[in-house]
Amino acid sequence: MRVGSGIDVHAFGPGDAVVLGGVRIAHSRGVVAHSDGDVLLHALVDALLGAAALGDIGQHFPDTDPRWKGADSARFVTATVELLAQAGWKVVNADLTLLAEAPRIGPWRDAIRSGVAGLLGLPRACVNLKATTTEHLGFVGRSEGLMAMATVLIDER
């Protein structure tokens, strides 16, 4: 068994929606990103790669590569799960945390969990999603951007 952790940040920018855990959520701003800027899935990918000692998201899906412009980050997750499988690993569970003042994700929590579980080939009970504000402190608290953290456990297939 191995554990991995991941962190991702994106700045808010022009737009009317953010994509979080594969779910498009209407918001007063968008995010600045080469792909769809899904902080939850990017943190998850880094946690998966970290657990398997396979590097980081920037090595596998560089933001200079036109293939990933505007990309649905679900593609990064499925490709990473496949990389882990080739290396002899399966995912056991994932625990995700969103740090944001807004949007509030309560109404979408179960949809996000189900979607992420589907990408990982797990039942929804093996994917948790937490959210917190930072009490108006720091860049998250000033609503300058979004941050996500992920922890995963993997095991031999």
Footprint of Mg ion (CB under 5 A) = 8, 42
Paired tokens of 61: 């899906």
Q: Which is nearer to Mg ion, 9 or 85 (CB)?
A: 9
> In this structure, what is the dihedral angle of CA atoms 111, 146, 151, 25, given to the nearest 10 degrees?
10
| Cβ 155 to Mg ion shortest distance, Å | 26
Q: Which is nearer to Mg ion, 64 or 125 (CB)?
A: 64
Query: What is the rounded CA–CA span in Å between residue 77 and residue 90?
Result: 13
| Cβ 110 to Mg ion shortest distance, Å | 24
Q: Which is nearer to Mg ion, 8 or 20 (CB)?
A: 8
Q: Which is nearer to Mg ion, 117 or 150 (CB)?
A: 150
The residue whose Cβ lies closest to Mg ion is 42
- The residue among 73, 69, 58, 57 whose CA lies nearest residue 20 is 73
Q: How many CA atoms lie within 13 A of 7 on its CB side?
A: 3
| Cβ 40 to Mg ion shortest distance, Å | 10
Query: What is the rounded CA–CA span in Å between residue 142 and residue 78?
Result: 33
| Cβ 19 to Mg ion shortest distance, Å | 11
